[in-house]
Amino acid sequence: MTRRTTDLGLLALAFALCGCGTGCGGAAETGGGSDTPNAVADEDRPASCPSQAPAPDPLPGIRPEHRTLAYWLEQVRRYGDPDAVLMTPEQIAAHDRALRLGDDPVGPTPLGGELDGAGVNGEIDERLAYLREKLESGAYLDEDGERVATDWLARPSVDLAPDLRVATAHVPLRCGPRVEGLYTPALDHDFDRNACSTVRAQEPLELLARWPNGMWLARSRYTVGWIAGDAPLSPPVPADRRAALLEGPRLQVVDAQELAGADLPANTFLPLVGDQVVVATGDGFRDAPKPDGIPTARPLTRRAVLESAFALEGQPYGWGGREGQRDCSRFLLDVFAGFGLSLPRHSSRQAMAGTFVIETGEATRREKAMLLETANEAGIVLLHFPGHIAMYLGEDAEGEPMAIHAFSEYLTPCDETGPDGEPLETANRVDRITVSDLNLGEKSSRTDFLSRITHVTVLGTAPGAALRGAATMRPAAPVSRPADDATCEDTLDAAVFRSPWRPNTEQPLRVIVTATQDPGPVELAIFDPEGRRVDVPVHELGGPPFTYWAEVPEPAQGRWTAVLGDGPRHVACEHFGVARGKPRADGRAANAPAWDPTWAWERDTENLYSAFVEQLFREPEGEDVTWPNLQVLVNDRERNLLFDHRSQDEEAALDLEPDCADLPYFLRAYFAWKLKLPFAWRQCSRGRGEGRPPQCPASPKTNLDPVDAVSDVGAFEALIREVSRNVHSSTQRTVPRTDDSDVYPVPITRRALRPGTVYADPYGHILVVAGWQPQTLDGYGVLLAADAQPDGTVGRRRFWRGSFLFTPETEDSGPGFKAWRPAVYDRRERRMTLVDNASLAESRVYTPFSMQQYEGSADDFYDSVEALINPRPLEPASVQRSLVDALEESVVRRVVSVDNGEQWVRDHGGQTMAMPEGSAIFQTSGPWEDFATPSRDLRLLISLDAVVDFADAVRRAPERFGLDATEVDATLAELRQVLDRELESRKFTYTRSDGSAQELTLKQVVDRMEAFEMAYNPNDCVEVRWGAPEGSDELRTCRRHAPRGQRAQMQSAYRPWFSTRHRPPR
């Protein structure tokens, strides 16, 4: 139960939880109903501005077709198939179970179980204290406007003894032990503050105690309150009826009728047992043939929900469910009850009861409108602001967002003022379930409905990439260990892996589950041989693919079970054994293959490879890190999902220090070796430009080739040394359409650009996609990639023009995102083949081959990738800051590179470093390749252009940023201010020639752009390499310069490449 307190502010909240809270659509903080913010009496108001008036019919902005089911069934097609299943009955059951979890569950209270007497007594005490405060202050009066004595609020001593009954007609549930109503001084009798809820006909409730005044203290699924002593109830529910009445399926009887001696109002829900229903009467329970109705055990679809909602359109609004009518939360409760989905009673609780919830925070009105549209693609959307909740319908044909809801009123400001000049408003009484736009209340003291939204709640599928970073998922319902004879299996799309390869008691056990599709709310549960759940932390990696992993430090011997699921829904399940000790290492024959494949590259292993890469480079958001080499990462057990997977302490024997070209091969080979997967590579030419791209042989080298090693680890080391000798940066820049390549181009989709995907730029740099950080509500998403440097250091960088260079030209090379060409092993023939492009283009197993990246301009390429990174339109200032963030990361990384060059000069006694000729300055071997920065500086200059020219990009395509033409000029002026502030505030330090520290701002880097066209030569002092102006105090400590011949060549021959930002082909 909720922790109790005597603070009256929280008591008010506890009281509000009894019903919908306030007049739905009305003032959340002022009590709703007709309590307008300016309580000027009607006699003091102009006739044109009454305190209340009937709302126009139709409402402003509403046409007759807006109120029809047919119209919205057509409109919702833009969000998906109206008949697509958003939630299965199994998912609904898990959802209900999850909402009942925790000390303060969101969902309805289960009846028939053990009563929390202390919690109920505490709630009663709070309720009575709250009512006493309201009565003594005069905030609540009787129906005639008179003060009410408080003696009836005396707290008697009663014993709570739950007695399960069923209401045979609508039963008002009072907030206090008083049959009569309570009202605010406005005396609007439509808003009885003593009406907490209504127990509907045929709904169960528990009688807890007889109150001294003859009323019953009672509890429904939604709240505690008092009912009349002569309320129409059934006798106590017999034991053999309890299960059907409390937990069984229901039949929604749509039409009012008499059945088995009971009068059933329209939309009554009856327990369904086979072909019969159970009907409660005043003298007992009767079985009756199933009448016409809708079984609640059915899938949740857009069509079905809209049919249920529009069946109630036009019906009256009733505060607290008065006389069987519906307020905002009861309307939604009834709609979703038709699917067996039990929502809580109060609007604020319903806002927390979704598959996922988004808190809108400080989002602007325009941002909220765009958010609603994106959320509507995931399911049924509920819109909440304090005191009200509505069902979002979507945009109408003219693009106006609309909702269907039960609400009482909205405010409109008057042109006139009150006697003292105060602004006046009219409460326009709607008092029905109907369709409205979200502009109601515009310019009033409460503002319009759209601006007031605080929570966007979705019932349906997982949030998807566009919302994942902004959404809070509901908790999963606990899963149980399946019985030994029950189905427990995984699939290629939802697979369970264990590490080490043969689990044993001497090594920690790691369980990893990967899923191609987002499984929604799930938990990974691990059960030991005794069937007990093992409580260990579960780690989640982003997606796609989606990964969940946990580690058991000291597993016991025996049969274990791992389940990924949500209540009864099992996404993946596996039983597996844990052996007593480590497996022995197999011996190796002389000149045997590096390893014999035992597994195949399929969806499950490709998903695991993505998880392996993502976890290896995983860092907290915003962290810009580098590591000395790859070996440091694989030695880290927390990072390396396959640490000691072969049970040979293999990491201790390895020394993996790849450069940028080696890195993707080392990662893929390491993973393939660990899992005994096929691995292949080619020894390709470098290409020479002018239509002579890199060429590769048709037959690859593979792990089947013999190696001279005496151990499994030694065999891998021998293979990786051969790979390093064979591959270079051109190996993965092969032209797109060739089949003779190790990698192939993929479509620009979120699923294709998964961790582990290779990126080759046109000029020789190679990166590996390392992860995605999803777009948040008020921030931007990030695509991260890992790369290695010639000195072996490994780091991460974010996607943007400055770090992912691209051209759609493919005559000389094939840049862009590429997937590994699957290697297929034929065990019988002991032969390895690689899948060709034609087969990949049609494959349902592998990422498809695609030429999409090369079908437009470079701008089209970057726009397409940016649309994946930030699926929702971004606020331009946020994008500007993100570009400055990326520039800052590039500059900080350059500090390290320049310092490395300085160290080389010191280590070699000031020796002059030879500079290659022509385009070889960008790609060669030796010290220049390791310590000069021409490629990095060209990327830096492109980065500087992207930062400085971003405002031009906004002007070219304002729609990408959610702007209309009238907003562009003001936005550009704001961007200029943002850019100046950000550049001035970002600072870094480099070490000058005399050892002193020199601080620079990014603004100074921008001002020195021309100097960076000549700043890549390690023979120049560090001050020159950072563009120190001539005659400056900063340059005073410079002690060396590049030879005149080198400087002349840099100026005359090479500088145009940097000034035009166009690197020559090789």
pLDDT tens-place string over residues 499-530: 999 999 999 999 999 999 999 999 999 999 99
Does 400 score more than 90 pLDDT?
Answer: yes
Q: Which residues contact 195 (CB under 8 A, 6 or more apart)?
A: 19, 172, 173, 174, 175, 181, 319, 320, 321, 322
Q: What is the pLDDT of residues 166-214, one digit of tens each?
A: 999 999 999 999 999 999 998 888 899 999 999 999 999 999 999 999 9
Instruction: Using pLDDT thresholds of 50, 70 and 90, give the confidence band for residue 624.
Output: low
What is the span of the domain harbouring residue 1009?
Answer: 873-1066
Nearest to 586 by CA among 714, 707, 703, 678: 714
The answer to whether residue 381 is domain-embedded is no
Last residue of a domain, one of 583, 605, 636: 583
Do 822 and 944 share a domain, yes or no?
no
In a domain, 336, yes or no: no
Res. 371 pLDDT band, cuts 50 70 90: very high
* Total domains, the chain: 3
pLDDT band at 1065 (very low <50, low <70, confident <90, very high): low
What is the 8-class DSSP label of residue 996?
A: -
What DSSP letter does each residue of 264-316 carry, written as one string?
EPTTEEEEEETTEEEEEETTEEEEEE--S-EES-S-EEHHHHHHHHHTTTTPB
Q: Are residues 739 and 592 part of one domain?
A: yes
Helix axes 328-337, 302-310, angle to 10 degrees: 130
Q: Would the pLDDT of 30 be above 70?
A: no
Q: Is the per-residue pLDDT at 26 higher than 50?
A: no
Is residue 1036 in a domain?
Answer: yes
Lowest mean pLDDT of 331-345, 721-735, 777-791, name the range: 777-791
Q: Does one domain contain both 525 and 573? A: yes
**Pairing state between β 546-552 and 455-460:** unpaired
What is the distance between the alpha carbons of residues 595 and 719, in angstroms, rounded to a whole number? 10
Same domain, 594 and 578: no
Token pair listed for 876:
């331009």
Domain check: are 846 and 763 in the same one? yes
10: pLDDT strictly greater than 60: no
* CATH code at position 506: 2.60.40.10
Other Cβ atoms closer than 10 A to 842: 8
Mean pLDDT of 476-500: 95
Average pLDDT over residues 963-975: 91
The answer to whether residue 104 is domain-embedded is no
φ, ψ for residue 302 (rounded to 5)?
-60, -45
The pTM (predicted TM-score) of the whole model is: 0.86
DSSP H or E run through 570: strand 569-578
Question: What confidence score (pLDDT) does residue 320 get?
Answer: 82
Pairing mode, if any, of strands 388-395 and 401-417?
Answer: antiparallel
Residues 606, 846 contacting (CB under 8 angstroms): yes
41, pLDDT greater than 80: no
When pLDDT is cut at 50, 70 and 90, the band that residue 482 belongs to is very high
Q: Are residues 502 and 616 in the same domain?
A: no
Domain boundary among 583, 603, 621: 583
Residue 956 has pLDDT above 90, yes or no: no
In the predicted structure, residue 564 carries a pLDDT above the cut 50: yes
Condensed to tens digits (0 to 9), the pLDDT of residues 42-62 reads: 788 999 999 999 999 999 999
Q: Are residues 562 and 681 in the same domain?
A: no
Name the residue among 635, 631, 639 with its Cα closest to residue 614: 639
Tens of pLDDT along 55-104? 999 999 999 999 999 999 999 999 999 999 999 999 999 999 999 988 88
Q: What proportion of the chain, given as a percentage, has pLDDT over 70?
A: 96
For residue 15, is it within any domain? no
Residue 341 above 90 pLDDT?
yes
> Both 1051 and 991 in a single domain?
yes
Do residues 570 and 643 share a domain?
no
Selected residue with higher pLDDT from 145 and 323: 145
Residue 933 shares a structural domain with residue 1058: yes
Domain finish residue from 870, 888, 903: 870
| pLDDT tens string 409-466 | 999 999 999 888 899 999 999 999 999 999 999 999 999 999 999 999 999 999 999 9
Look at residue 197 and tell me if it is in a domain: no
The arithmetic mean of pLDDT across residues 719-743, rounded, is 96
DSSP E strand stretches across 113-256: 163-166, 171-174, 195-199, 204-210, 216-219, 224-227, 250-253
Specify which residues 164 forms β-bridges with: 206
Question: Are 575 and 603 found together in one domain?
Answer: no
**pLDDT at site 812:** 87
Q: What value does the mean pLDDT take over residues 742-767? A: 96
803 domain residue, yes or no:
yes
**pLDDT value for 800:** 85
| Same domain (yes/no): 572, 682 | no
Q: Indicate whether 16 pLDDT > 80.
A: no
Q: How confident is the model at residue 12 (pLDDT cuts 50, 70, 90)?
A: very low
Q: What average pLDDT does the chain have?
A: 93
pLDDT at 38: 58
* DSSP state letter for 959: G
> Comparing 683 with 190, which gets the higher pLDDT?
683
pLDDT on residue 692? 87
Instruction: Specify if 828 maps to a domain.
Output: yes
Q: Which tokens belong to 487? A: 């189905």
Taking only Cα atoms into account, the Rg of the chain, rounded to an integer number of angstroms, comes to 35
pLDDT band of residue 33 (cuts 50, 70, 90) is very low
Question: What is residue 853's three-state secondary structure?
Answer: helix
In the beta sheet, which residues pair with residue 680? Answer: 702
pLDDT at position 623 is 59
